Amino acid sequence: MKSFDAIVIGAGQAGPFLAARMVEKGMKVALIERKFLGGTCVNAGCMPTKTLVASARAAHVARNSAAYGVNIPGEIAIDMKVVRARAETVTMNARNGLIGWFAGMDGMTVISGHARFEDPKTVSVNGETLTAPRIFLNVGARPVIPDLPGINDIDYLTSTSIIHLDRLPRHLAVIGGSYIGLEFAQMYRRFGAEVSIIEHGPKLASREDEDISDAIADVLRSEGIDIHTGASDIAFARSRDGITVATDSARIDASHVLIATGRKPNTDDLGLDAAGVITDKHGYITVDDSLATNVDGIWALGDCNGRGAFTHTSYNDFEIAAANLLDGDDRKVSSRILAYALYIDPPLGRVGMTEKQARASGRKIMISTRPMSRVGRANERGETKGFMKVIADAETKKILGAAILGIEGDEVIHGIIDAMNAGTTYPALQWSVPIHPTVSELIPTLLGDLKPV
């Protein structure tokens, strides 16, 4: 049996950085990863997909360049092998960077293999037994494959496998109208494929307010994407030219199918029962406000704990655990103000409550909206789709939430994120003097238009 001061299972966006901090403190740490260092973000998530989004935007800009007085003769062609290679290069550079970083750390032992608990302080991997007083789980999540008629008879894609395509689909059917599905739908439409989105619910991006969901649908439809919401009785069958996707109201002749119906935690094969670690009905590991599980000496970080599904929330889990365990702090997950983005184009930046959540809270609220068509930067760039929206507490004057669907919305939202984290009231933020011409310069104007509802 090999002994360590800590064992980290999973090398996503929390575990490796926590392991590095512990090594800096002179601890002996084992980092176990069954597949690739960097987790979903580096290998099948943010980095490769946003690289693909950049290629798709380049194609879109080239096709529409004449409107800006730039004439490109001939048809805009897409070389999917180059597109794929570029994304793979970004991934490999990041992964190899982690490999080199860990190799230079005394006290760090990186093990490639599948770890399972033997008891609360012991794990087995590759036929060896390891023990430590502290064990951290950062095992991430994977795509959910729904049990739909005919799904096992077709060769479907997931968010992991689609990034490796090196040829353009004739017609991509996207099953699921949430964030992952929407990004790939617009991306492949811009590459030149026909695209259909099939969503069981009544709206795309159902976690958003209806006005945001409707605006997202308008953006995608304007680019020629076929959207089917409220779809039921979804079934698949092989056809002469590819795959037939049938619903209660539509029949789609697709060449490729992307299943984008959510994700589930990689917790079902860790031997959690042997350690006594409790999970909820969806398989997420139950943690308290400090990310500790019900078993003393075991913590769960990142996607597998159900307290966030983003790279930045996973990294914040590392920050919380490191602050509490290594720096004598008392940070809590409940103090985190959730923010995220949807990387269609234009992007959606979101923070805090939706309007629906704010109304349901019983607070007296104020709301302001402003179309992007009234933003100077948007007009100058010829990108006026979307709108800004902010919700505030009428009594405390604190900002409760905001959504910016529009050009640079994923960056502009940070002004509001920072204000909310600092506890700044909206009247104080209203007196800021932003730079002109930017999208951010409209935030004081947006706040000035807040009205009670």
Per residue in 241-277, pLDDT (tens digit) is 899 999 999 999 999 999 999 999 999 999 999 999 9
- For position 127, what pLDDT does the model report? 95
In CATH, the architecture of 151-261 is 3-Layer(bba) Sandwich (3.50)
- pLDDT higher than 90, residue 366: yes
**What is the pairing mode between strands 29-33 and 108-112?**
parallel
Among 210, 252, 238, 182, smallest CA distance to 354 is for: 210
CB 345 within 8 A of CB 60: yes
Q: Domain locations in the chain? A: 2-142+264-335, 151-261, 339-452
- For position 110, what pLDDT does the model report? 96
- pLDDT higher than 90, residue 118: yes
Instruction: Centre a 10 Å sphere on the Cβ of residue 364 and count the other Cβ atoms it contains.
Output: 13
- pLDDT higher than 90, residue 150: yes
At 203, phi and psi to the nearest 5?
-140, 155
- Burial degree of 249 (CB within 10 A; 0-12, 13-18, 19+): exposed
H or E stretch covering 32? strand 29-33
Task: Tell me which DSSP letter residue 440 carries.
Answer: G
Mean pLDDT, to the nearest integer, of 437-445? 96
Q: Calculate the CA 361 to chain-centre distance.
A: 26
Tell me the percentage of the chain whose pLDDT exceeds 70: 100
Mean pLDDT, to the nearest integer, of 315-331? 97
CB 394 within 8 A of CB 364: yes
Catalytic residue numbers, as ranges: 436
Tens digit of each residue's pLDDT (9 = 90 or more) over 178-235: 999 999 999 999 999 999 999 999 999 999 999 999 999 999 999 999 999 999 999 9
Tens digit of each residue's pLDDT (9 = 90 or more) over 24-45: 999 999 999 999 999 999 999 9
Order of strands, sheet of 251-254, starting from the edge strand that comes earlier in the sequence: 235-238, 243-246, 251-254
The domain defined by 2-142+264-335 folds into FAD/NAD(P)-binding domain (3.50.50)
User: What's the mean pLDDT when you consider all of the chain?
Assistant: 97
At 69, phi and psi to the nearest 5?
80, 15
93: confidence class by pLDDT, cuts 50, 70, 90: very high
Torsion on CA atoms 168, 169, 174, 180, rounded to nearest 10: -10
Mean pLDDT, to the nearest integer, of 400-414? 98
304: confidence class by pLDDT, cuts 50, 70, 90: very high
- For position 248, what pLDDT does the model report? 95
| Token output for 120 | 């609360």
For the chain, the C-alpha Rg in angstroms (whole number) is 24
What single-letter amino acid sits at 435?
Answer: I
Order of strands, sheet of 2-3, starting from the edge strand that comes earlier in the sequence: 2-3, 128-131, 122-125, 116-119
CB 263 within 8 A of CB 284: no
- For position 252, what pLDDT does the model report? 97
For the segment(s) 339-452, the CATH number from 2.30.130.60, 3.50.50.60, 3.40.50.150, 3.30.390.30 is 3.30.390.30
- For position 344, what pLDDT does the model report? 98
The residue ranges of DSSP E strands in 239-378, in sequence order, are 243-246, 251-254, 256-259, 263-265, 298-300, 339-342, 348-352, 365-371
Give dist(CA 200, CA 202) in Å, integer.
Answer: 7
Instruction: Centre a 10 Å sphere on the Cβ of residue 14 and count the other Cβ atoms it contains.
Output: 34
- For position 244, what pLDDT does the model report? 98
Q: Are both 2-142+264-335 and 151-261 of the same fold?
A: yes
- pLDDT higher than 90, residue 309: no
- For position 380, what pLDDT does the model report? 96
